[in-house]
Amino acid sequence: MMQAQSDAVGRIATEGDNNEYIRFGHQKYLKSDLYEAFGGTLQPGLAPASEHRFANPAPLGLSAFAATTFMLSLINAKAQNVTIPNAIVGPAIFYGGIVQIIAGIWEIALENAFGGTALCSYGGFWMSYAAIYIPWFGITKAYEGEESELSNAVGFFLLAMTIFTLGITICTMKSTLMFFLLFFLLDITFLLLAISEFTGKFGVKRAGGILGVIVALLAWYNAFAGLATRQNSYLTGHPVPLPTNEYTLTNITGRNRRRVN
Domain identity same for 71 and 36: no
Q: Are 64 and 100 in contact (CB under 8 A)?
A: yes
Whether residue 234 is contained in a domain is answered as: no
What is d(CA 125, CA 92) in angstroms, rounded to the nearest whole number?
A: 9
* Residues 107 and 145 reside in one and the same domain: yes
Please determine, for residue 73, whether its predicted confidence score (pLDDT) is greater than 80: yes
pLDDT of 151 strictly over 50: yes
Q: Are residues 62 and 41 in the same domain?
A: no
pTM here is 0.80
Residue 26's domain comprises 2-51+242-260
Q: Is residue 164 part of a domain?
A: yes
* pLDDT tens digit sequence for 180-205: 999 999 999 999 999 999 999 999 99
Return all residues near 67 (Cβ < 8 A) that are at least 6 apart: 91, 95, 96, 216
Position 179 in a domain: yes
Domain membership of residue 218 (yes or no) is: yes
Query: Is the torsion defined by CA of 14, 15, 21, 22 positive or negative?
Result: negative
Bridge partners, residue 89, by sequence: none
Q: Is residue 232 part of a domain?
A: no
pLDDT per residue as tens digits for the range 213-226: 999 999 999 999 88
